[in-house]
Structure 1
């Protein structure tokens, strides 16, 4: 089973000089070109965003989806047509290439936070992804335990025990964010949004030495206290200051697909825009 992981850092891409010009699509030629390469409906979604960085990452996310199909399945950018499910998840509706069957059976998910945009995809397999900066949201200067208070009912006692085991607050926060990303990736994979109680989704098996770059025992999942073996989970670091979690529904016909972690390919903005074509 083919799996794809792509990531791109938008921090250094500054296609406009002001928030107003960026959101009103009246900025530089490069940004105008980027906007012209996505469907008008998605273009409208992006230009309605009030925060410049959110708009920029959302735009890169849409470009990254199309670039993945061009790069991995030799699809024509202009022939790609996307739709959304009732839950709002985008999917490839059609393309006109010889790989049309494989391409239209690719399930993908994107996430962005802190300047990074990430994508996970797999053939005929539900997938979810979430990325977060390894810091308290909003860069608030508050004690870690004060930050945790608002989330007491989102984690099980076993998860809190693991989070609070280190003496170092940075390690505690790192473990908290890892769990949060895992929960989000699963929720996104099943496509229900955060309407389920997050404490009913319990993870285990994370390494005590916090080293997620080395092979470890599989991350385990319990749903309402009952072990669930139908999912595979991966944790990765990006640039040492972001955590990424991927949830992948297991296919019984392809157990070997889950033996190794799929590494992220980091793309550059220039490479992304080189694939893009105006619509």
Structure 2
């Protein structure tokens, strides 16, 4: 296995202000024609099937990011970035000349933001996963459920995607746990609920990134055997930015206890970060054949890309 020239790529795109003239998904055919022209016919059709234009924008951006990372880091013209699916239906790029994957990638999107994590230049298999969550996207609904049904009922509604001990922890030990700082001493009512929801979505983000790294989905039969213990919610960011600067160091959490079937495992490099007051991102990578390689890689902050940058770079890579 070789890891000396490995490049870890982490992108973020904010789609919320893109193509403002598109009130409905069908409007993207004209408003986003430049971007759609870079996709395959099947990808275009998949984007335009979304009912809500916000979802279509995120889908379109996700497709563009996958093609971009393959074109740039596998060094192939954009039209040759043919994506297929592996045995677990995860999108992949396989070099037709070698039969290998020169770049491994995964995408996520929520509330208008799209993330991509990729690894390129590694001589061997790399598993990668990313997730992005927004703690406030469903805040009104979440508070209504908690107010009417109780916190325990809210957790139970999602218990099928948590590990055996995680739902119990969220319902019983969360407020007294020393691993969950950030609750004001005199917090009441909505402040307490928001604190609980941030821990809930932190756990969701960690699990989703890890499960996607494995190539499975949140319907995997072993989900209840996977547990995150002593996890911590990152403090809300002061600005809509990710950085390793001193002002934001408290937002970055790299140490996590991951347990599977009652055994602590340490084969994944997992990094959780705040993004502004409401978002957080998680990156997860592992190298199954030599775990110490991925464990030594630096998972830094995500890089924001503009759509103009994506499109101009793509058009420049239409041929070599």
Corresponding position of 1:200: 225
Alignment match, 1:67: 68
Give 1:78 shift.
2.2
Aligned to 1:109: 106
Question: Where does residue 10 of structure 1 map in the other structure?
Answer: 15
| Larger strand fraction of residues | 1
Say whether residues 1:257 and 2:264 are aligned partners: no
How has the CA–CA distance of structure 1 residues 133 and 51 changed in structure 2, closer, same or farther, with 3 Å as cutoff?
A: same
Q: For 2:48 and 2:139, locate their aligned partners in 1 and report how far apart those are by CA, in whole Å.
A: 23
CA distance in 2, matches of 1:5, 1:134: 21
Do the aligned residues in 2 keep the contact of 1:4 with 1:121 (CA within 8 Å)?
A: yes
Tell me what 1:266 maps to: 304
The count of aligned residue pairs is: 270
Unmatched 5+ stretches in structure 1:
none
RMSD: 3.0
Greater CA deviation, 263-272 or 192-201?
A: 192-201
Matched residue SS, 1:117? strand
Output one character per residue of 1:203-234: Cα deviation in whole Å (capped at 9) or x when no partner.
12434884884465621210122111212211
**Aligned CA distance change for structure 1 residues 26 and 101 (closer, same or farther; 3 Å):** closer
Indicate the SS of the match to 1:17: coil
The alignment partner of 1:130 has SS state of strand
Structure 1 pair 163–43 and aligned structure 2 pair: CA distance change class (3 A) = farther
Task: Give the match's secondary structure for 1:27.
Answer: helix
Q: CA 1:69/1:139 → structure 2, altered by over 3 Å: closer, same or farther?
A: farther
Return closer, same or farther for 1:226/1:48 CA change in 2, 3 Å cut-off: same
> Deviation at 1:138?
7.0
TM-score of the two chains, using structure 2 as the length reference: 0.74
Return the TM-score normalized by structure 1.
0.83
Structure 1 residue ranges, 4+ long, deviating more than 6 angstroms after superposition: none
Name the stretch that deviates more: 266-275 or 231-240: 231-240
Residue 119 in structure 1 maps to residue 124 in structure 2: no
Gap runs ≥5 in structure 2: 1-5, 177-182, 237-247
- Seen in structure 2, the aligned counterparts of structure 1 residues 47 and 21 have a Cα distance that, compared at 3 Å, is closer
Residue 21, structure 1, aligned to residue 60, structure 2? no
Task: Tell me how far apart the structure 2 counterparts of residues 213 and 198 of structure 1 sit (CA, whole Å).
Answer: 31
CA distance in 1, matches of 2:233, 2:113: 27
